[in-house]
Structure 1
Amino acid sequence: MTDGTDAGEVLIVTGMSGAGRSTAADALEDLGWYVVDNLPPQMLKPLLELAGVASDALPRVAAVVDVRGGEMFAKLPEITRTLRDGRPLRVLFLDASDDVLVRRFEAVRRPHPLQDDGTILDGIRLERRMLAGVRENADVLIDTSNRNIHQLATQIADLFSAEGQARHTLTVQSFGFKYGLPPDADLVADMRFLPNPFWQDDLRALTGEDAAVRDYVLGQPGATEFIDAYTAALRPVLEGYQRENKRHSMVAVGCTGGKHRSVVTAIELAERLRAETGVAVRVRHRDLGRE
């Protein structure tokens, strides 16, 4: 027998209705996770104990927990805090903006589970209030407002595949400010203090992945100094995230259109941070393909 402290990894999947819980659950199942859908929060402790006893057979268990649990769901934050002590437990929270959620419910012509006699938006607002505490304490937050089901499945695979056992995964994502801030960013760097290669005729059609743009950006006064200093500033942050068992974070690097300066900086920053012990670094370019 075991006390459960050496249990296989357990992931709680929760979040807003319509934000992609089913897609995430399917993606996790494809990755080899044992997925339990619509699990009452009170069953999480027995599930952890089962994962501990059968760690070989159930090395990774994902439990989908949501407002369908009714009054029992209100106890999820308290139950999660109790179970975290000494256990490999993470919480994934899926979110999306209200207008996107409304459109998704309207597209499938289904009512929100909490709307009763009200509107879809009434149900969304009630659910958001109910989930506020869970969202605040989640280990991984994914905003699916601008992601389709295939993009979400890809991100789930990136975050929860068995490849690599780094204590922390950092995503460095370039973006364009004119398309809005990434809603799931933990930290944001603004590269608009550098001259924009867009105004160079020979560089406009290129991107930050091209050597000519890289050389131009890194050749500007303050560029490499900023990247070196920002790398140094992130070291204690990443160490702190690992001490606090925060398994994933995102640094968003922005410029005007997300095509030149931010792309170069994201790549350079990731290369430096890959040397950090215990940190797996991924690079993404959110707006690189936009016109």
Structure 2
Amino acid sequence: MDEIKTNPPVENTTVEPPKKVRRVGTMAFAILLIAGGVLLLAQQFMPKANLLAVLKFSPAILIVLGIEVLVYSAKPDVKLKFDWLGVLGCAFILVVIGTASLMPQAWRWLGGADRNAENRIEQQVVDSMYQELSADPELKAKITSMYASASFNHTDMENVDYTLEPGDTLMLHLNFCQDSAGNELEFAANCAAIVKAARDAGWNFTTMNFATEEDTGGVYDTYRAEFSAAFADGLTTEQLAKRVQKGYYYNYSQYDTEADRDNAIKYDLRDKIAERYADEHDGTYPDENYLIEETDRQFAVLYGSAEIATPESAA
């Protein structure tokens, strides 16, 4: 009996079409490229534009990426794939925009436009102060140096005129010659006259620093005072004199008190007297009483008004 051959059943196979690959990040990168170019171009025509404020909306890029994921994942024939180059491109564009927005402030911080404007104001202050003091030649002649220091503390980028505003710093530094110092009262009177001149010139200084010119050689006194125009307003010369600080100098050194300086002077005089006496007396040095009296006498002649008789011999 012949065998009956049957064909195996044919499986019903269907070939699925390939899924389309969609790169998440490409659209966001394209949008950011357009927006970044528009912003950078706008800044060239609108210097007041603050790109830092625009960067606050940079999280919107995440929203765009999320929308891309939702749209493509809803399609069964789409295969998602992140475009890492596009994501990195978005980050790069944000860095470029951020750098461009910081350039004006960096220029100011590094001494650009702000420093130039501050220099202009400082020179204007000095010129106007000297002009105001022309009405008092005697006071003007007492000044050996004067300079101002201005500093913009505000961060308002809209202030493109670079003018002083409330909160900014404006300081005056002024030195008087030594001969005009006199005493604390005379120094305070000179300071008060400068305060009045500053007010008449229209300057409201944050701080005013006054000092007498320092000459590190020899023996001399220095005076210093620091206060604002508002503080000095209405105070008498005697009241201002209480804010004057006195310094004592001798031979390139500063001493806290006049007594300390006098002791240093007498110490040097004592050594000179002893050496001179020994030279005149075949190497014999004077006794203590002679040194004390002769030191006091020479000190009074050089720095005081008292006259002390010279000891005739070393007892």
- The interval holding the TM-score normalised by the smaller chain is under 0.3
Q: Which has the higher contact order (CA 8 A, sep 6+)?
A: 1
Choose between structure 1 and 2: higher helix proportion. Answer: 2
- In our comparison, the structure showing a higher alpha carbon Rg is 2
TM-score (norm 1): 0.19
TM-score (norm 2): 0.18
